[in-house]
Structure 1
């Protein structure tokens, strides 16, 4: 087999490996075959167990598909985004960058008094006792970032340019959320409504997936997209319709905050994710 043929086979096998891993992750959610709602405690606990198993198997799966050349540039842990160098910066700067993007919603929370709730210890205690909250704010981001970023991106990066991998991997991430279509139909939505909601979810999860993959590739740390994912899940998709519920003066402030946050995010996304800050020489060539 020639060098070109070998490279082509490596790339093809990596892409199919990622597709198979995507289906494996989604299938793990339905292996129990229950008809109960996804928010039922027993369903949540079973799915916690299922995705945990996938998370444990995924690194070995990734290692199998990584070429010797790829592993020579960095061991498996480094490929997965687990390393000490640059960890502090990766835990802080991308999260600040993401918070800036949500400056508008954060301003709305401040004006509505939601920020005061975060200072209440009982809020956090009750939240960690709520399985739905734990799923949405912890287990979902952790499992998704581990599988779709830490374990999947190294396979794509060994044969694709960084920016190509950044936009290709999230498509699989978006597709992985399409299983909610059937759950919505089972809970009473008609097919058209469920499809429209799922298509919208596919669009914004793919966009977030691209941003998350960008953070992983630029920083070389899985903690960067993980914390950003947790924050975004907490904030939710911005509800622009709520702006009209505020008084005129506050409305102007909120709109200005939306525009300012997006502008600052665009200006600093490159500099705040500079690989040199995170001592990243693995996934992004500087």
Structure 2
């Protein structure tokens, strides 16, 4: 096979005809998602009990520190395996020639958004701008850092330095974004799927990966008809929320070509939780107008910055006019 670009350039690996069909890409992305979730149940040490322990506590549940450790090891290995899968897909395209090892490795890093870029720094501020309303409500409650009701141990040590904190605010966001954003979108891009479809439909894999939490809800609340309804509602809500967030994270990834903005957005959303303006208005009834205004300003700031602050030069997923002209020749 002959290539026009020199081996030192990675563009010939990045902007070629589709490597496989969209159907194949969807199968591979589902395989990635199944691998990530499946490892949580393959190992006895990582498998959590759905039934709450007698006498309370977290022993044997998904919040058991021992189970968290085993799961973090399992999903880290699964994430590495998915990244290796991207390398193999690219390497198989050019043939098993050691001459292309370094170039394929560089192309893999680019496709996974692991090549450092300082152009995407502002993209990390887009999601915090959206949360201006909840942040303002926290300020009214004096719960922001260095305010009256903020405590170093309670708000930092106990929350972030526990095994639950490491899972919720470090390894889970990182591994999930690498698998469900970088690896899945890389595969869809290799199949020539449009950016609109990647943003709109690829995150469904991420949403479906959270469905298994419904079993935990069903068992936790007694395995009754009421528990089943609660589990279904919880699963549907989580599917919708994670899919919508996945669409935003997919846009950040494709727009910046970096996995870091989606990871920081994921961590920030985990810290803030789902906004609850009704609860905030109940806590601060005298500041209703101010809270409404803060929410409106947050939405406006998000809308104004989402496109501008995510623009990144030399981005293979969202090439500018110069890159597109280079591609034609």
Fold equivalence (TM over 0.5): yes
Higher Cα radius of gyration: 2
Q: Which runs of 5+ in 2 are unaligned?
A: 1-16, 50-59, 95-102, 321-329
| CA drift at 1:207 | 0.4
Aligned length: 274
Q: How does 1:158-237 map to 2 (within 5 A)?
A: 158=190, 159-188=192-221, 190-237=227-274
TM-score (norm 2): 0.77
Q: How does 1:200-279 map to 2 (within 5 A)?
A: 200-275=237-312, 279=313
In 2, distance between residues paired with 1:117 and 1:181? 38
More divergent stretch after superposition (9-18 vs 251-260): 9-18
- Which structure carries more helix by proportion? 1
Task: Note if 1:20 corresponds to 2:52.
Answer: no
Among candidates 66, 77, 82, match of residue 53 of structure 1: 77
In 1, distance between residues paired with 2:232 and 2:78? 27
In 2, distance between residues paired with 1:247 and 1:235? 18
In 2, distance between residues paired with 1:145 and 1:221? 11
Among candidates 108, 120, 143, match of residue 114 of structure 1: 143
Task: Look up the SS of the partner of 1:200 in the other structure.
Answer: helix
Look up the match of 1:44. 68
Look up the match of 1:3. none
| CA drift at 1:8 | 8.3
8 A Cα contact 2:256 2:315, kept in partner: no
Look up the match of 2:174. 142
In 2, distance between residues paired with 1:218 and 1:186? 41
Q: Which runs of 5+ in 1 are unaligned?
A: 1-5
In 2, distance between residues paired with 1:228 and 1:117? 23
TM-score (norm 1): 0.88
Among candidates 130, 141, 164, match of residue 132 of structure 1: 164
In 1, distance between residues paired with 2:260 and 2:296? 28
8 A Cα contact 1:14 1:65, kept in partner: no
In 1, distance between residues paired with 2:277 and 2:202? 28
Task: Look up the SS of the partner of 1:82 in the other structure.
Answer: coil
Which runs of structure 1 show a deviation greater than 6 angstroms over 4 or more consecutive aligned residues? none
| CA drift at 1:203 | 0.3
8 A Cα contact 1:13 1:65, kept in partner: no
Summarize the Cα distance change of 1:134–1:8 in structure 2 as closer, same or farther, 3 Å threshold: closer
In 1, distance between residues paired with 2:19 and 2:122? 37
Look up the match of 1:62. 86
In 2, distance between residues paired with 1:117 and 1:195? 40
Summarize the Cα distance change of 1:166–1:200 in structure 2 as closer, same or farther, 3 Å threshold: same
| CA drift at 1:121 | 4.3
| CA drift at 1:260 | 1.2
Summarize the Cα distance change of 1:155–1:252 in structure 2 as closer, same or farther, 3 Å threshold: same
| CA drift at 1:246 | 3.3
Summarize the Cα distance change of 1:256–1:43 in structure 2 as closer, same or farther, 3 Å threshold: same
CA RMSD of aligned residues (A): 2.3
